[in-house]
C-alpha cells in the first residue's frame, strides 16, 4: 500500500512536470506535493482546535459537528514520527537510538519529555468542557 502511494506521488510529480513543459497556461507552477500540517493549537488565542467538518473526497459526503482531535494528532510532526518509530522499533530505545544516530540518554530524555507533554495535553483536555454537537 505504501508502494502504491509512493508510485502515485512520483507519477503525479512527473505528470506535473510534463504539463508545465507543454502547457502554455499552466494551472500551477508548483510541481511539488505540499504536505500540510494539521494545526492543533489556535494561532490567535492558543486554545485547543477542534475539527468542525469532515468530508469524503470520493463521494462528497460531509459530516459536521465538533470533533476533538485525538491526542496523538495534537502532537507536532516530529513527535508523531518519534512515536511511530518507537513502535516500529518494538519499544526498544536502544534500536531507536541506532536509527536516529544519537545516544541512548538523548533518546530516553526525548521520550521522558514527550511523556510530560502528553500528560500536559491529557490534563488540558480533561479541564476543557466538551461543547455540544451542531
Partner 1 sequence: MNRTLTAHSRNRYDFSRWLFNPFYYLAGGKALAAGIVLILATGALSYTGGFRFDGVLDVHTTASSNIPAWVYLADGFIAWIIMSALLLSSGKIISISRVRAIDIFGTQALARWPAFAIALFLKIPVVQSYLRFIYPKFAGARVSTVEFMISLASYLIIVLLIIWMVALMYRAFTVSSNVKGAKAILTFIGVILAGEILSKVVLLYIVP
Q: What minimum distance in Å lies between the beta carbon of 7 and partner 1? A: 13
- Residues present in the chain in total: 134
Q: Name the residue with cell 490567535.
A: 44
CA–CA gap between residue 26 and residue 19 (Å, rounded): 7
118 interacts with partner 1 by CB under 8 A: no
Output the CA torsion 17→19→22→23 (10° steps): -130
**Per-residue contact flags (x/-) with partner 1 for residues 52 to 81, judged by CB under 8 A:** -----------------------------x
Q: What minimum distance in Å lies between the beta carbon of 71 and partner 1? A: 18
100 interacts with partner 1 by CB under 8 A: yes
**Which is closer to partner 1, CB of 66 or CB of 109?**
109
Q: What minimum distance in Å lies between the beta carbon of 3 and partner 1? A: 9
Sign of dihedral through CA atoms 101, 74, 120, 92? negative
Sole binder of partner 1 in the list 116, 120, 123, 124 (CB under 8 A): 116
Sole binder of partner 1 in the list 26, 70, 105, 123 (CB under 8 A): 105
What are the b/e assignments for 38-60, b being 16+ CB within 10 Å?
eebeeeeeeeeeeeeeeeeeeee
Amino acid at each position: 500500500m505504501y508502494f502504491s502511494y509512493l508510485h502515485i506521488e512520483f507519477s503525479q510529480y512527473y505528470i506535473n512536470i510534463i504539463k508545465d513543459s507543454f502547457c502554455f497556461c499552466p494551472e500551477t507552477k508548483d510541481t511539488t506535493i505540499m504536505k500540510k500540517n494539521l494545526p492543533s493549537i489556535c494561532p490567535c488565542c492558543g486554545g485547543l482546535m477542534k475539527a468542525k467538518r469532515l468530508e469524503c473526497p470520493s463521494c462528497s459526503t460531509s459530516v459536521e459537528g465538533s470533533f476533538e482531535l485525538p491526542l496523538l494528532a495534537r502532537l507536532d510532526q516530529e513527535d508523531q514520527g518519534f512515536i511511530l518509530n518507537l513502535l516500529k522499533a518494538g519499544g526498544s530505545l536502544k534500536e531507536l537510538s541506532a536509527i536516529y544516530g544519537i545516544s541512548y540518554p538523548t533518546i530516553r530524555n526525548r521520550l521522558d519529555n514527550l511523556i510530560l507533554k502528553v500528560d500536559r495535553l491529557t490534563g488540558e483536555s480533561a479541564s476543557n468542557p466538551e461543547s455540544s454537537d451542531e
